[in-house]
Structure 1
Amino acid sequence: MAKKVSTQLDLFPHVAAVYAAAGERVVDNAALYRAVARQAGVARAQLDATVAIGTAGAQRSPIKRAIRWHQQTLRQLGVIERIDGQRGLWQLRDSASKKLHQAAAGVRLVAFSTDLGVAIWARSQSVFPALGEPIALCVTSPPYPLRAARAYGNPTEREFVDFLCVVLEPIVRALVPGGSIVLNIGNDVFLERSPARSMYAERLLLALHDWLGLHLMDRVPWVNYSKPPGPTWWACVNRVQLASAHELVYWLTNDPARVRSDNRRVLEPHTERHRELIAAGGERRAASYGDGAYRLRPGDFGLPTAGRIPRNVIERGHVCADTLRYRKHAAERGLPVHGAMYPTDIPDFFVRFLTEPGDLVVDPFGGTARTGLAAERLGRRWLVVEWMLQYLQGAAGLFRDSTGFELHPALG
């Protein structure tokens, strides 16, 4: 018995699969109809059956019509193109046959979603200028200006400041008063043929203030002792540098007077020594340090409190349980693994510190959607945008247990 299919959604992955399997070969519409019907289990009679369509009542096959509709969707995504002057002849674009995962300019496709958020396959410039939604927080790790580019590409050091300001401008424009931008950027960027570090990070801070009106709230270094002992050439070969163990995290806001941070949301357990002081009723001695700048009095640190205020340093390795789950999910599906991931702990900390439940958290360089994952778990709404499709396919595995999870059928 022939399988009954929806003429709209169920056929899309089959249409995409036919062109993917064809590679650089041209596919005519008749061959496309047959191949899709075969994959979807549609009988020939069902494929050819016609009904009256439109005001003129022309007899058309609804299944063939749906296939052509999905064909146009692939064209709009920049995946296929029509052979010049040939009606009904299509093939993969040259760029698509080599790198299907990179979203073309203007393309926007919901890769997956939950009740709280959505992951979009697109370039950020195609999404945020028209978002029309107040943003409480942006946590992101843009591609670093490395000399040896990663698989997802990156701007050069000269391009980086302009590149990032263009991406952030519509997000800053949509920030609520006192909203925040948190940027994780690379520290291991060096001048050409020199052991001197680039000052691109300092130029970026000035540009974010002068061009976008952001104020620096803090520098929060991410100390990662599990980083490889680089920079290899200057630290391990020429021995003129120290092995790097931290990256830069900048916290900025559009309005310091109304900044929405609250350190009570990120309190940590007291140290054993502090717990002992509380139990003993506090310090029993008096002392003065720094020419009187700091004074210790009897009874200090004796009152019970909810916890310890965190220091402005993050000490985390780069691997976490979510990273291992993502890698397993990607490997099972033959997907490329993202080459630079940060642990979910980092966006988790800033989402707790800088937002409240129900706020919107965004990431224009979504990667494996860790910002979205942290926001999902903390009851915040979220939007991540990523232009490499396979990274979102892999990230989707981290959200499968989330309420309302839906995956686009073409990514299944």
Structure 2
Amino acid sequence: MTEQIKHLSAEAVMAPFVGRDHLTNRELFGQLALQLDLPESVLDSRAPVGKSGKECNLFERKVRWHQQTLKHLGVLERVDRGTWRLSGEAQKELTPAPKRSVLLAFSTDLGCALWASAEDVFSGLGEEITLAFTSPPYPLAKQRAYGNVDQTAYIDWLLPIMEPVVKSLRPGGSIVLNVGNDIFMPGSPARSLYVERLTLALHDSLGLHLMERFVWHNPTKPPGPVQWASIKRVHHNTAYEHVLWFTNDPELVLADNRRCLQEHTEKHRRFVGSGGVKRYTRNTGGAYTLREGSFGAHTEGAIARNVLTIPHRCPDQQPARDFASANGLQAHPALMPVRLAEHFVRFLSEAGDLIVDPFGGWATTGRGAELNGRRWLVTERCREYLMAAAQRFRDAPGFYSPMECSNA
């Protein structure tokens, strides 16, 4: 058996069905042979198999074995003899990862994205994590296609998922959570206190320490909350979300703000170029004293503030969005800019460290890690999101995706 056939995966067998009404076995064999670059001799050869010694084509046998596995998982269904298609649920809904199953969606030299539930991966990871940067599904009252719980069940749902991630955290490692702001008490303009309860639960139950409450200011955030700002007129439009930074050991925390310095403004560069402070100044309240020449030394950049102004759309997302549209895939509705992920990747890790995201989505955390020389691992339950997210990594060294559509 050739190496290509030996490593043929269920994901590769499933991919040609995406966007197709059905495929015959002959069509499927042909597409997979082209994808694997198999010579005709392999397609025509037969070899004895099993105790009976019955001669079979090993390639076709391997494909049929994966077909039966995917049928058992509810992903493929038989139309008639020798003809298959994606199951009805797989065609019209997002396809969740089979329980207790971990499948490769795509990988690069630095990391990989897994089609799996986070619980099935991180409970047996066996490697230290430096940073988990993630945006869990928000506790919205109206459930999204990818699935979410409401605020009453949110903490009991999230903590068991995060617990194995926290257990794998190296001393001084960090957990950073982007959580929604526009969550309200049912039928009321009063905001939910779920963020405060979550913060306390992460400390009390998982032993995490709150290091900072960052504000992600999104100047392109759509107007809202519509009910309370546009209709009832009792709120302003919201322009920010919470980004909570935790660590398991504040004394050993692996953070360095020199890795994420901001570019100096032109005004500041002129100020430094002129020699800094011109005369001795003492604040009347005694809070600080400025001496002649203060702030006159050149520095590599400005220390970032804890309010990060970053638009939610970025060009890096476009290949994934275009791919989803062209192939009839549901696009993930949440858009996180890669600049936000990159900021925390640089701030809270060094090159070669492992960065993870248990709620992969567009794989933005992985992308931020990839662009900055960090190893990465993301998990995502919905196959369609991963197929689109893979397009963001096509230029990365070692890119491989057994899940890709045959026409990608």
Tell me the TM-score range normalised by the shorter chain: 0.7 to 0.9
> Scaled by the length of structure 2, what TM-score is found?
0.88
Contact 1:260 1:355 in 2 (8 A): yes
Equivalent of residue 288 in structure 1, options 265, 275, 282: 282
TM-score under structure 1 normalisation? 0.87
Match of 1:317 in 2: 311
Distance 2:170 2:195 in 1: 25
Letter of the 2:398 counterpart: G
Q: CA deviation at 1:139?
A: 0.6
Mean alpha-carbon deviation: is it higher for 303-312 or for 257-266?
Answer: 303-312
Identify if the C-alpha distance between structure 1 residues 18 and 225 changes in structure 2 by more than 3 Å, giving closer, same or farther.
Answer: closer
Tell me the equivalent position of 1:67: 63
Letter in 1 for 2:99: A
- Report the counterpart of residue 257 of structure 2 in structure 1: 263
* Structural mapping, 1:218-257, within 5 Å: 218-257=212-251
Q: Distance in 2 between matches of 1:290 and 1:190?
A: 44
Q: CA 1:41 to 1:365, structure 2 compared with 1: closer, same or farther past 3 Å?
A: closer
8 Å Cα contact 1:178/1:258 also seen in 2: yes
**Map 1:145-224 → 2, pairs under 5 A:** 145-224=139-218
Cα shift at 1:131: 0.9
Partner letter of residue 340 of structure 2? I
**Pair 1:218–1:196, CA change in 2 (3 A):** same
Q: 2:53: which partner in 1? A: 57
Aligned-pair CA distance for 1:125: 0.8
Q: Percent identity?
A: 48
Structure number with the bigger relative contact order (C-alpha 8 A, sep ≥ 6) is 2
Q: Which residue of 2 aligns with 1:133?
A: 127
Cα drift, residue 6 of structure 1: 5.5
Task: Give yes or no for contact 2:13–2:66 (8 Å, CA) kept in 1.
Answer: no
In the TM superposition, what are the counterparts of 1:321-332 in structure 2 within 5 Å?
321-332=315-326
Matched residues, number: 399
Q: For the residues of structure 2 that align with 1:82 and 1:265, how far apart are their CA atoms?
A: 54
CA distance in 1, matches of 2:223, 2:345: 30
Report the CA distance shift for 1:89/1:240 in structure 2 as closer, same or farther (over 3 A). Answer: same
What does the per-residue CA deviation read over 1:84-136, in whole Å, with 9 as the maximum and x for residues that have no partner?
xxxx9998666445435221221211010000000111111111101111100
Q: Cα offset for 1:278?
A: 2.1
Deviations 1:53-110 (A, max 9, x none): 2455343442442133212431464424799xxxx99986664454352212212110
Change (3 A) 1:176 1:33: same
Distance in 2 of aligned mates of 1:5 and 1:379:
30
Query: What is the distance in 1 between the residues matched to 2:177 and 2:9?
Result: 40
Secondary structure of 1:217's match?
Answer: strand
Deviation string, structure 1 residues 346-371 (Cα, Å, up to 9, x no partner): 01000001100000000011111111
Q: Distance in 1 between matches of 2:116 and 2:9?
A: 22
Inter-CA distance 197–177: structure 2 relative to 1 (3 Å threshold): same
The alpha carbon displacement at 1:292 in A equals 1.1
Residue 346 of structure 1 is matched in structure 2 by: 340
What one-letter code is carried by the residue in structure 2 that aligns with 1:235?
A
Specify the code of the residue in structure 1 equivalent to 2:108.
T
Aligned match of 1:383: 377
Distance 1:118 1:11, change over 3 A: closer
The whole-number CA distance in structure 1 between the counterparts of 2:201 and 2:28 is 52
Report the residue type matching 2:343 in the other structure. F
Gaps of 5+ in 1: 24-30
Residue 28 of structure 1 is matched in structure 2 by none
Relative to structure 1, the CA distance from residue 273 to residue 154 in structure 2 (aligned partners, 3 Å threshold; closer, same or farther) is: same
Q: Where do 5+ consecutive residues of structure 2 fail to align?
A: 35-40
> Is contact 1:76-1:107 (8 Å) kept?
no
Structure 1 residues 382 and 206: CA distance shift in structure 2, 3 A:
same
Asked if structure 1 preserves the Cα contact closer than 8 Å seen for 2:264 and 2:302, the reply is: yes
Give 2:301's aligned residue. Answer: 307
Distance 1:15 1:252, change over 3 A: closer
SS of the residue 1:308 aligns to: coil
Please name the residue that 2:400 is paired with.
406
CA contact (8 A) 1:136 1:176 kept: yes
